[in-house]
Amino acid sequence: METKPVNQLTISYIISYVITAIFSSVLTIVKDLNAPLKDWMKSLTTHHWITHGIFVVVLFLLLALLFNQQKVGKKLTADQLSNWVIWGTILSGLILVGFYFFEVFLKVH
Amino acid sequence: MIEFLLFLHVFLGVGGVIAAVWSFVELLNTSELNLKRIKIASLWTALFFWASYLFGGYWYVVYYAADKAIINAGQWPWAHSFSMEVKEHLFFLGLLMATMLPVIIAKSPIVQDKKIRRMVQFIVIFIILVGIAMEGFGALTSFGVRVGLTGGK
């Protein structure tokens, strides 16, 4: 079966997803440890989680659009993009779960 | 009515997982014959995830504080500080993947190219895993409320 190139929009969405997913997990940690940041996020929409969601969705769409226009990662293969999805999801998930597990079950308060 | 909103959130989330599983099963035997069904299933996955997000998000922002107080006063405070906190942030990964899924399927030669099809399958697998995690963490959070109300352990 012939190997076809991956569509640029697909490449852009996947790269954008991985960057945004990691950003979201890091933002979660930073806002949890930084009360002024959390308060600022709350002030924008009445709840920090609403603001977080808006940041994430907007960043995701903007990056996808930008990467598509700039043809970022145009030579990435399907196998490489599979790895991006797998490791990006695992990494952002581990950052999140690891942080809260440490904060709740391991950290001495 | 308030609790019905929460029920809708869970119901729609389960719908999203079912639609994702449907997508995955169709992707296992991709051909021109089921390509249209794959596109429909992926679209339903995205719609269900967004609907669950909006209903759940509204309930969370407006009504969850009362449940949170009950959880924190009970024997399972981690049902909020770990379970709910992870759930409300991990969800975004599933939401983003579900959002891009129908676009990627529409733009990808999944019938002709095995590796591209596998790439899409990985996305769907992770959507399913995040959806199942949401159900699990949501259940733990709900049990935290139950423990808080009944004084159980």
What's the pLDDT at B110?
A: 94
pLDDT at A1: 53
| Tally of CB atoms within 10 A around B87 | 20
Report pTM.
0.95
- Write down the ipTM of this complex: 0.94
C-alpha A50/C-alpha B48 separation (Å) is 19
Please say whether the beta carbons of B108 and A68 come within 8 A: no
pLDDT for residue B1: 80
Which pLDDT does position A88 carry in this prediction?
Answer: 97
Q: Would you give the distance in Å from CA B142 to the centre of its chain?
A: 16
Q: What is the pLDDT along chain A (109 residues), one digit of tens a residue?
A: 557 899 999 999 999 999 999 999 999 999 999 999 999 999 999 999 999 999 999 999 999 999 999 999 999 999 999 999 999 999 999 999 999 999 999 988 7
Residues B100, A17: C-beta atoms closer than 8 Å: yes
Q: What is the pLDDT of residues B111-139, one digit of tens each?
A: 999 999 999 999 999 999 999 999 999 99
Output the pLDDT for position A2: 57
For residue A85, which residues of chain B lie inside 8 Å, CB to CB?
97, 119, 122-123, 126
Chain A residues inside the 8 Å CB shell of B90: 93, 96-97
Residue of A nearest to B123 (CA): A85
Buried b (16+ CB within 10 A) or exposed e, A53-67: bebbbebbbebbeeb
Question: pLDDT at position B77, please?
Answer: 96
Sequential DSSP letters for B25-50:
HHHHT--TTTHHHHHHHHHHHHHHHH
CB atoms inside a 10 Å sphere around CB B35: 14
Q: What is the pLDDT along chain B (153 residues), one digit of tens a residue?
A: 888 999 999 999 999 999 999 999 999 999 999 999 999 999 999 999 999 999 999 999 999 999 999 999 999 999 999 999 999 999 999 999 999 999 999 999 999 999 999 999 999 999 999 999 999 999 999 999 999 999 876
pLDDT at A108: 83
Residue pair A24/A35 in contact (Cβ under 8 Å)? The answer is no
Q: What is d(CA B153, CA B144) in angstroms, rounded to the nearest whole number?
A: 9
> CA-to-CA distance for A51 and A42, rounded, in angstroms?
7
Q: Which chain A residues touch B107 with a CB distance below 8 Å?
A: 7, 9-10
Condensed to tens digits (0 to 9), the pLDDT of residues A15-36 reads 999 999 999 999 999 999 999 9
